[in-house]
Structure 1
Amino acid sequence: MSILITIAATLSAAIHVLIFYWESVAWTRPAVWKRFGIASAEDAQTTRAFAYNQGFYNLFLAVGALVGSVLYGLGATDAGFALGLFSVSCMLAAAIVLVTSGRGRLTAASVQGVFPLITVVLYIVSWTTEH
């Protein structure tokens, strides 16, 4: 089960690292800000600091998901479980919040939330079978 958790958590993290890149590094590129529904280069520049900060939240959650799954797989099950589950649960919660912000966000929320959902389910199944 720890292999499946590691794969799902790694996919969750990879998506969030990509989001980090878009928001914190490449935000002012037209292809990026248009992807996020920003109307103009001027608006992208205005929201740049916000996006930069938001991107780092995504990066930190990705690191937490990876470190948690590695710790869990290496036998530090309590610490790994807590860190990993917290990180992917935050990713999933953010995807749910994104859905509530408008119908046009369903695809983005699905991309952001599917692998964290799978990881949460795997963590819970693993924990219930071990206890």
Structure 2
Amino acid sequence: MAPSSSSSSCISPAGREVKLFNDGSFGTLRKLAGVPDDFANEGWNLDTLKDSGAKGGCLVAFIGSEYVIKELSHDDHQSLLAIAESYLQHVKTGETLLSAILLHFEDVASGRRFFAMRDVV
């Protein structure tokens, strides 16, 4: 199955226009977790992204203590596109230690790609 992309009028991370990837899968996870579609619309912006200190050097932003927005490298973006459906099938069993990825998107204006997940710290 080819990865899907779309846009949604209620999903606007940081108030920006975005292209969504595999939102059928990630929307299912949001629904199962009781997370509203607009959870990433406020509480962060591109200027609040900071170096994560991780070996990959990706930038991250936090939405309170609940969610993390992480910028994706090209390779990480491609990997997430490839595994989205199998990731959904695995995580929705509830028998996982993986943190739930809730959104995968591209900022239309900048072309930068991100995912949003629950903060597990």
Q: Sort the TM-score into its range (normalised by shorter chain).
A: under 0.3
Write 1 or 2 for the structure with the bigger share of helix: 1
Query: Of the two, which has the highest radius of gyration?
Result: 1
The normalised TM-score by structure 2 is 0.27
Write 1 or 2 for the structure with the bigger share of strand: 2
